[in-house]
Structure formats: structure tokens, C-alpha cells
Structure 1
Amino acid sequence: MKLVVQVKLLPTPLQATALEATLRACNEAAAWASGSWRTGWTPGVSRTAARRART
């Protein structure tokens, strides 16, 4: 059985600033991580083992 709870945050102005900075940092890290997997991709190399050998 799953339980889902919806919560509304009511941060103070100082907490809101810190939360916004944290979310921006998380978004930047996620964007970097989602783009970094492409560095190992080489056109024409379809086998996983061959790709791993190149990275």
C-alpha cells in the first residue's frame, strides 16, 4: 500500500532564499549529469563494450 502526502512549504524569507539556491544548484547538477553521459557516445559504435573501451 502506498501513502501519498501533499505538503505545502511555508518558509521564512531567509529559508526561501536558501531553498531557492539549493534548488538552483540541484538543477545545475542534474543538467550537467544529463549531458555528461553523452561524452562517452561515439557515432557508429553500437556495442556497449566497445563504448566502454573508448571512455
Structure 2
Amino acid sequence: MRPGQRKALTDSADDRQIQLGEMVKAKIRAKVEHPFRVIKQQFGYLKTRYRGLK
């Protein structure tokens, strides 16, 4: 769900359920992103750094 859609939610019971679902998804996403980044670094998927170029 996009941030604007989430802000537009009201205090109705249906919208509260949607907000709880979004919170669950955010918690899972936060737990997965850091280990995934570490694994990507080990396999060389980093942004290229140019040293010495001016």
C-alpha cells in the first residue's frame, strides 16, 4: 500500500484491519532486508566505487 493510501484510511474497523496487516508486512520486511543485504555483499552485488577519479 502506498503511503498516501495509508494516510487516507479512517478509524473504521475495516481500515484498522488493513493497518494491522500493513504493520505485519513492515515488520517482516525489516527483519529480512538486513540479512539479505549481507548475503548480497558476500556475492559481490555492491555499487561500484570509483577511486582516484576526479
Structure with bigger gyration radius: 1
